[in-house]
Amino acid sequence: MSSEPIAQFNIHDAKTHLSRIIDRVEHGEEIVISRAGQPVAKVIPLERKVRRSGRGSLRGRLVIADDWDSAEVNEEIADDFGMPR
């Protein structure tokens, strides 16, 4: 946790500077929105649901059929989508 106080904006400033506030939140900062000096909302970063380690993170988890690009499979897909052959 940071020792710095949480940034606070009144509603007018929050509306005026929303994109800047979102940029700060995307970088991990929490922002409080106040009305008449009273905090009413907190904007916090969302946790990413997908955490991939990088390229190849699905290696060994996907199985591709040997005939994945055969003429027969392509025709079946075209039929499924109502496309002319």
Give the domain ranges of the chain: 7-43
CB 31 within 8 A of CB 9: yes
> pLDDT averaged over the chain?
88
Per-residue pLDDT, 26: 92
**Topology given in CATH for the domain delimited by 7-43:** YefM-like fold (3.40.1620)
Residue predicted with more confidence, 85 or 36: 36
For 42, phi then psi, to 5°, come to: -125, 130
Per-residue pLDDT, 55: 77
Per-residue pLDDT, 62: 85
In the structure encoding, which two tokens stand for residue 13, read together?
Answer: 């400033």
Q: Residue 2 pLDDT more than 60? A: no
DSSP tag of 36: T
DSSP tag of 63: -
Q: Which residue has the tokens 């409080």?
A: 32
Over the stretch 32-72, which tens digit does the pLDDT of each residue have? 999 999 999 999 999 877 766 677 777 788 888 888 889 99
Amino acid at the residue 77: I
Per-residue pLDDT, 61: 84
How far apart are alpha carbons 4 and 59 in whole angstroms? 42
